Amino acid sequence: MNTIKIRQMQLSDLQLALSWAALEGWNPGINDVESFYAADSSGFFVGELDGEPIGCISIVCYDKTFAFIGLYIVKPEHRGQGYGTQIWQNAWQQMTQRLDLNRCSVGLDGVVEREETYRRLGFIPAYRHIRHVYELKDSGVVPSSVIPLANVPFAEILRYDAELFPASRPQFLQSWINVKGGYAYGVMESANLTGYGVIRPCHQGFKIGPLFAESTEIADCLFQALTSHAGKQPVFIDIPDVSPAISVLRQRYQLQPTFTCIRMYCYQTPVIDSDRIFGVTTLELG
């Protein structure tokens, strides 16, 4: 087995990695690259063989206590030769130097077929994310209770998001809620955010993520507002299978499951209120 050169990605490398993700059928957003890079520019790695990029991984460290693994890809013609293991081990070593291993969590969303592989690496299953597709029957409207997220103070968005994500992620969120071609909405009660959601254009249709809300009713209003921008294109949303609202949304919108992956954690498992998570932000970054 040849040894490959592994280095941190530049922005152009990350664009290439996302194009590989599209070929894998993961359907990333067409404008994800800047938001991903803003989350942690040191957390993306590419492996090169004779100067040619052949594989990649991301291990985004949001702070010293939470990191998330994604974009673990080796080009098909180079699989089964140990290159993926080299990329993983190199990135993992660099990640451990950035985290407090006594109190950290490391998460990933793995395909079902790789569950045992990740178990052997120390990851424990928490729940599953089920990707659903919504085929719009007609153009929706934005309910009167919903406002553009741009009208909500960013500090309030950060406060609410941190209740439902294991770490504060200001650099990522600042970019994500303003992603090109996307839309973001929130619901306020008095001066408090009680739910927000983002929809963005993807290689196929649109994808909602996150969709966080205090109740199914608020999530429903946000879902209507977000999908009103999709036209006749399909809308995808990744819903935790432990969310009590999954059956309600499935029935109300005739959502069809299309794909399942497993959320797994290494070291510690963060305590997250899944009752308020109606759609995860992204399978690549958590």
Cα 96 to Cα 34, 59, 115, 245, 252: the distances in Å are 25, 10, 22, 36, 44
The predicted-structure confidence for 209-261, as pLDDT tens digits, reads as follows: 999 999 999 999 999 999 999 998 999 999 999 987 788 888 999 999 999 99
The predicted-structure confidence for 253-283, as pLDDT tens digits, reads as follows: 999 999 999 999 999 999 999 999 999 999 9
Q: Give the C-alpha separation, 30 to 208, whole Å.
A: 13
Residue 82 host element (H or E): none
The predicted-structure confidence for 191-205, as pLDDT tens digits, reads as follows: 999 999 999 999 999
